[in-house]
A and B are shown apart, each in its own frame.
Chain A
């Protein structure tokens, strides 16, 4: 038994929209404040912080804006969307080791109105953006410049191996939209989709992904407050215990593209995480 079990003590989120009308830094501050309010904590309690590499908010700017006194531990987890989840592993490690008492995980971005991933990014310096793994060097000169194109290669191989068509992916999107439609802050609140909606949406990458296979790109911010179980006893919410959290960066995988590991029909990172958990 670990002595200091990590828990999620508060959650904050802004509305999700197509245009937030405010800076990413403001979305960050609002999300963190909402999460701290939810937990019953103040910015001066925060002493640990993590976001992931593809995020534009600097620790120092958040500290200065919010009146955080000092951070004793700060980290960035690598990669694309999966990196956001890995921040929870860092928060767990930080509070269970005693490095921090109150750890904030953050993601805030004007992903729709400012930096949409679904728009092909062909800027001359795009090779050096993000985590710097250079995967764009090998895909951009060939017209693969969106997450749908990068991940479509693996999906096509998977479809061929198992004899699937795009219609087989429809239930996944339908289920995810069903879940998202329960969030009053979601753009498509109370607006689930059907299999027919999915199948009649336009192609993004043939024969793999239609529009409704792609995630809704939104402006918004989300923050979690992680602390120890012991400390959370005195806080506002009943805490959610973090049973475990982990990261996986297996051999020969890349940031978003995954073209080179042995069997592209297997998602190595997912397999490794599942084993750990």
Chain B
């Protein structure tokens, strides 16, 4: 049975195993802990306030190791996308869309897009975060077309 989100667009080939759980490291645990709570977290330098992703222990801009873990808006736009078709991994529903999202805070995050037909995915499309379960009772952040941006804007938000 699938543990993936019950998407409005049914999968042609549904997952037969749970989505793999994230494997946090010491520098990234806050991100996955946040996802498990249903919060998209970002890392910001406490000194120069630069956001960075993926997380890392030192700020590449000012070399400070002091950092803040900040809840992000979860809104962004699609930077690039693909639909992996082979090999099909039994932990995922197919068709599958992987997206790189430019978040409002100025960092990029890799994830999945749901609730959108394959043919309708576009670079620049506004998206919003939600969370889907994984093995081990964890969650990961995924995206869907932004519900508050139906006015037709295709460009970057904010």
Contact = CB atoms under 8 A, between A and B. Distances in A.
B19 A141 contact: yes
Contact of B89 (A145, A148, A205, A207): A145
Nearest to A208: B82
B98 A149 contact: yes
B79 A157 contact: yes
A160 B123 contact: yes
Q: Tell me the dominant secondary structure on chain B's binding face.
A: loop
B112 A134 contact: no
Given A203-B86, A257-B110, A157 B23 contact: no
A206 B85 contact: yes
Q: Output the residue of B54, B80, B82, B112 with the most chain A CB within 10 A.
A: B82
Interface residues of B, number: 36
B123 A141 contact: no
Given A134-B25, A142-B111, A157 B80 contact: yes
A137 B25 contact: yes
Interface string A196-207: 000000111111
Interface string B58-92: 00100000000000000000011111111101011
Interface string A150-166: 00111011001000000
B100 A259 contact: yes
B134 interface: yes
B89 A134 contact: no
A264 interface: yes
A138 B83 contact: no
B85 A205 contact: yes
A141 B123 CA distance: 22
A118 interface: yes
Contacts, number: 105
B28 A260 contact: no
B16 interface: no
B134 to A, nearest CB: 7
Contacts of A153: 80-82, 98, 100, 110
A264 B80 CA distance: 9
A124 B21 CA distance: 8
Contacts of A136: 23
Given A156-B82, A157-B79, A205-B82, A143 B110 contact: no
A120 interface: yes
Interface of B: 19-25, 28, 53-54, 60, 79-87, 89, 91-92, 96, 98, 100, 108-112, 118, 123, 134, 140, 142
Given A141-B19, A144-B110, 8 more contacts: A137-B25, A141-B20, A142-B140, A143-B89, A153-B81, A153-B110, A204-B85, A264-B80
